[in-house]
Structure 1
Amino acid sequence: MASKTPRKDKDGNVTSYQIEVYRGRDSEGKKLKPYSMTWQIPEGWKSENKIKKELDRVAAQFEIDCKAGSVPLEKKTFKQYSDYVMELKERDFKHRTIHRYKEVLVRINEEFGHVKLTDITGLHLNRFYMKLGKPGANKRTGEPLSSQTINQHHRLIHMIFAQAVKEHIFMYNVADTATPPKIEKHEAEFFELEEVLAIRDALIQQPLKWQAITDLLIDTGARRGEILGLQWENIDFKNNKIEIQGNLQYTPEQGIYLEDSTKTDEDRTVTIAPEIMRILAAHRKEQLQYKLQCGDYWIETGFCFTQEDGTPMYPSQINGWQQKFSEDYSLPYIHPHKFRHTQASLLYFSGEDPVTISNRLGHKHVSTTQNIYGHIMKGADERASNKIASMPYRRNSPNSKAK
C-alpha cells in the first residue's frame, strides 16, 4: 500500500503529500529507491474528508500505475543518467572502451543531454541519426558520419536505456523503437603478396627496431598494441615463438598503459619465422648496447620496443612511421591493421581452416573472423573449387573397359 506523508509550509499548514510506493530489493538485498510523487492540495480545498478522499484516490491510482510500470522513477536528464551508467560500466569494461563511449557521448549530449531521460522517444533518436548522416556532422572534416559510426551511437544509447529497463525506469528499451541506418559493409583491404615482398625489400634499409615491428605485424597479424605490448620475457628465441599477453593502449586520461589481456581474455602463443626472430635478436642486442650508453637516462620497462629513454611507445608512432616509410619508397599506403588483414588472406588462400586463423588473430569467436573476412573466404573457396574442377574424377573414361 502507498505511503502518504504530509508536507507543510512555513506556517505549519499541510499543502501537499509525498506519495511513495515500495519497489522491492535488488539482487544484493538492498532496498530500491521507492516510486515517488507529490500531490498538491488544490487551492481553496478546506474539507479534510474531501482532501482525504482525493488523496486516497490519487495514491491508489499511482500504486496501480507503478505496478504496471508506467510511472517514471527518475527526473534526471539523459546526461545525468548516462554519466551514472558510464560510472557503473567502468567496473566491467576496458578503459579504452569507456574512453570511446565518452567521446561518442559528447555528440549525443549536445543533442539531447538536457532532455529528461523519460521524455526521450524513438522520434528523438531517429531525428538524431538522420542529422548525423548529413554533411557537417563530422566537425573536423565537414562530412556526414558513416553508417557504422552512427550505429556506434545507437548501440551506446541502447546500452544506456537497457540499464534504465533493468532498473525498472522503463518497461521497454526506447532505442528499440528507433531505426538506425543499415551498416554499409566495407571489405577489409589487404596487401597482395608482391606488395608484401616490396615492403620487406625496402625494410632492409631501415633501423632494426622498425624492421622487427613491421615484420612481426606482417608475420603474426597481431594488433599494433599487441606488438608494442611485447616484453622480452614473452620472446622464446629457442623455439621461435612469442606469447601475446597484453595490448598497449593510450588515452589522454590514463596515458600509455598495458591492458592485462587481449580481446579474447586469454594469452596466445604465435610461431614466428626464423629469419624474423634473427632480426628481433639483432634488435635486442642493439637495444642492450644503447641501454649501456644511456646509463641513468635509461628507464627499464622490459618492453621490446621503446622510446629513446626506454619507456613504452605510443601506438600512434607506428602509424606515423609507416606512413612516412611508404611515401619515401613509393609503396602502397601502409596502415598497421592492413597487415592483419593480409595475414588472414594469406592463411585463407594457403588453405588454413577458420579456427586456426581465428586463434592466430586472437578473435574471441570464429564467427568474428568469418564476418570480417567473408569476401576473402569466398575467393579462397572459388580457387579451391577451380582446383577440384580441374582434377580427373576417374582414372579411366566412362567408355573404357577393364582389361
Structure 2
Amino acid sequence: MTTPRPTSSRRTRTRTRTRANGDGTVYQRKDNRWEAAGYVLAPGNTRKRIRVYGTTRKDALAKLTEKIAASNLGLPVAATDSTVSTYLTYWLNGIAVHQVRENTHTRYAACVRLHLVPGLEAKQVARLTARDVRTFLDRLRVACQCCAQGRDTDRRSCCAIGQCCNKRLSPLTVTYIHSVLKSALEHAVREDELPRNVARNVKTPAPRPRRFKPFTASEARQFLHAAGNDRLNALYELALRTGLRKGELLGLHWEDLDLDSGTASIHRSLQRTPTGGLTILHTKTRASERRIALPTECVNSLKTHREQQEEARRIAGTGWSDNGLAFTTLTGGPLEPANLTRSFSRLLKSAGLRRIRFHDLRHSTATLLLEQGVDLVVIKELLGHAHIGVTAGVYAHVRLRLQRQAINTLGAALGRADNDPDNPPATAVVR
C-alpha cells in the first residue's frame, strides 16, 4: 500500500501565498490595525522600504499599492529620514506644484529657499521636534535679513560697515513661513510618513491685521468725479461700486456682462505668472465665482466704454488684438496689472486725493456698505469671500464703530425726560 507523500510546510506556504514578489506584505498588528510594507523609489534613485497603515486590510493594501504604482512611474516617495532641505525640495516640485497656483508656488519656493532651508537644513524630517520649529521661528523674528541672506557681502552696507540695519521680518511674514512648513509636513502625515505634524504643535502669535485706509463717502464721490473723463472710467466705477478684485476686473470679458439685465458673471482673473506672462486663470477661490448685480451707473459707463472700444478698434484696424476682454490697451491687448496701478496713482494725484492701494477700493466698497447698514451676508456674497468669518474679521473695526454709534443712539433715547413729547410711551411689545 502506497503511503501518501506528506506535504511540507514550505510547499504549503508557497501554495497559500497570494502576493507576488515586489508587491509587499500585509499583516495585522497587535493593536488591530493593518500594516503594509514594500519597497519603492526614493529620492536619489534609491530604493526604500516603507510602511503604511489602515483600519482594514483593504485600506492598508490600497495605500501601499498606490505608492508602488507611483514608484513604478518613476515618482519617488518622500524620505522622512532625509534632511528638511531634501524633503522640502521633493514637496515643492512633486506635490505643491500640482496643488497651488503658479504665483503661490513661486512664493512657497522663495520661502523655502530664503528661510526654511537655511534655518532647518541640517535637521532630519523624522527627528524634527516642536522645540526645533519654535527655536527656528524665534531666531527668524530677531535676525537681520540683510545679514542672514548675505545681502551686504557685495557692497559696503549693513554689517559690512559695522552698522547692522536690523532689517527684520514682519510678524505676518513669520506666520506665513510657519504655515508653509505646516503644509509640507502635513503632506507627510497624510502619506503616513510621519506620525504627527510637529509644526502644528507650535503656536505663533496672531499677526496684527494689515491696516487699510478706505475712502470716506466724500472722498469716494471726489474719486468718481475725477475718473469721469478717464479712459478707464468704467473700470474704476466697477471697482468702487462692486468691490471686484483687480484681477477680476482685468479678466472680465464682454460675454461675462449682461448689460440688459444689469448683471456680471465673475469666474476668471487676469494674473501675471513667471512662466506664462499675462494669463487668464480661475478666480481666487470657488466662492469667488459669483454673479453680481450691476449698479445703473456701472451699466451706463460700460455702454459708453464699449462704444469707445469700438472706436479704438476701428482706428487700430488690423493691429487690433481681438480677445474679448472688456478692458484692454489701445490696441486690444490685456492690461498689465502694474500699469493699472500706476494709472490709478496718477489719477489720485491729479484729483488731489491721498494715496491708497488699488485694493483699498474694494475695502472702501465694503466699509461704505456696512456704514449704510447693509447686511454682512450680502457684503460677503458681493465680495466673493469664502466664509462670512473672513468678512467679519476684516471689517471688525467698522462693525465696532457702528456698534458704538448704535449704543450712543440708544443712550440718547434712554436719557430723554419722561414728559418729552418726542418720547411717547411704548405701546407695542418688541419681539
Change (3 A) 1:31 1:235: closer
Partner Cα separation in structure 2 for residue 199 and residue 145 of structure 1: 35
CA shift digits 1:336-376 (9 cap, x unpaired): 21111111111111111111110001011111100111111
Partner Cα separation in structure 2 for residue 135 and residue 322 of structure 1: 36
Show the 5 A alignment for 1:327-346. 327-346=349-368
Residue in 1 aligned with 2:280?
258
Q: Which residue identity lines up with residue 196 of structure 1 in the other structure?
A: A
Residue in 1 aligned with 2:374?
352
Partner Cα separation in structure 1 for residue 384 and residue 200 of structure 2: 32
Residue in 1 aligned with 2:65?
30
Identity level (%):
23
CA shift digits 1:157-188 (9 cap, x unpaired): 01111112223332221213434343223444
Partner Cα separation in structure 2 for residue 194 and residue 279 of structure 1: 21
Q: CA deviation at 1:150?
A: 0.6
Partner Cα separation in structure 1 for residue 48 and residue 226 of structure 2: 76
Contact map agreement 1:307 1:313 (CA 8 A) in 2: yes
Q: Which moved more, 1:297-306 or 1:264-273?
A: 264-273
Partner Cα separation in structure 1 for residue 91 and residue 49 of structure 2: 25
Q: Which residue identity lines up with residue 106 of structure 1 in the other structure?
A: R
Q: Which residue identity lines up with residue 277 of structure 2 in the other structure?
A: G
Number of residue pairs matched? 343
Contact map agreement 1:245 1:268 (CA 8 A) in 2: yes
Residue in 1 aligned with 2:81?
75
Does 2:294 correspond to 1:272? Answer: yes
Does 2:388 correspond to 1:366? Answer: yes
Change (3 A) 1:348 1:134: same
Residue in 1 aligned with 2:321?
299
Residue in 2 aligned with 1:110?
118
CA shift digits 1:50-71 (9 cap, x unpaired): xxxxxxxxxxxxxxxxxxxxxx
Partner Cα separation in structure 1 for residue 285 and residue 216 of structure 2: 27
Change (3 A) 1:282 1:135: farther
Does 2:114 correspond to 1:90? Answer: no
Question: CA-atom RMSD, angstroms?
Answer: 3.0
Partner Cα separation in structure 2 for residue 130 and residue 137 of structure 1: 14
User: For structure 2, which runs of at least 5 residues remain unmatched after alignment?
Assistant: 1-24, 28-46, 54-59, 69-77, 152-164, 427-431
Contact map agreement 1:78 1:114 (CA 8 A) in 2: yes
Contact map agreement 1:131 1:137 (CA 8 A) in 2: no
Show the 5 A alignment for 1:50-69. none
Q: CA deviation at 1:232?
A: 0.5
Does 2:249 correspond to 1:241? Answer: no
Partner Cα separation in structure 2 for residue 26 and residue 200 of structure 1: 64
Does 2:119 correspond to 1:125? Answer: no
Q: Normalising by structure 1, what TM-score?
A: 0.76
CA shift digits 1:250-308 (9 cap, x unpaired): 12123221222342345322222222322221111111111122222222111111233
Does 2:172 correspond to 1:172? Answer: no
CA shift digits 1:125-145 (9 cap, x unpaired): 333323332363277996321
Q: Which residue identity lines up with residue 179 of structure 2 in the other structure?
A: R
Q: Which residue identity lines up with residue 281 of structure 2 in the other structure?
A: E
Q: CA deviation at 1:195?
A: 1.1
Q: CA deviation at 1:198?
A: 1.7
Q: 1:201 aligns with which of 225, 229, 232?
A: 225
User: For structure 1, which runs of at least 5 residues remain unmatched after alignment?
Assistant: 3-17, 34-71, 399-403
